[in-house]
Amino acid sequence: MGCCSPEYRKVVEAQEKKVNQNTIDKVPVWGKIVSVAIIACATIVFVLL
């Protein structure tokens, strides 16, 4: 199976789709924002007290 055969391209495309699906963020954006806000508030409280 050479690098330019149609079957090879199908296999590579299938592997790329699988990798791309695995790299989708597990934590939603709002969860990240809430986490950063909590950490920032805790740091400010720690510094002021």
pLDDT at 36: 95
pLDDT at 3: 62
* Model pTM above 0.75: no
Q: Considering only CA atoms, give the Rg of the chain.
A: 22
Taking CA atoms, 2 is separated from 6, 8, 18, 49, in Å, by 9, 7, 22, 67
pLDDT at 47: 92
Taking CA atoms, 8 is separated from 13, 20, 22, 31, 37, in Å, by 9, 18, 21, 40, 47
Q: Cβ(8)–Cβ(14) under 8 Å? A: no
pLDDT digit string (tens) for 1-49? 556 677 888 888 888 888 877 666 677 888 889 999 999 999 999 999 8
Where are the domains positioned within the chain? 6-48
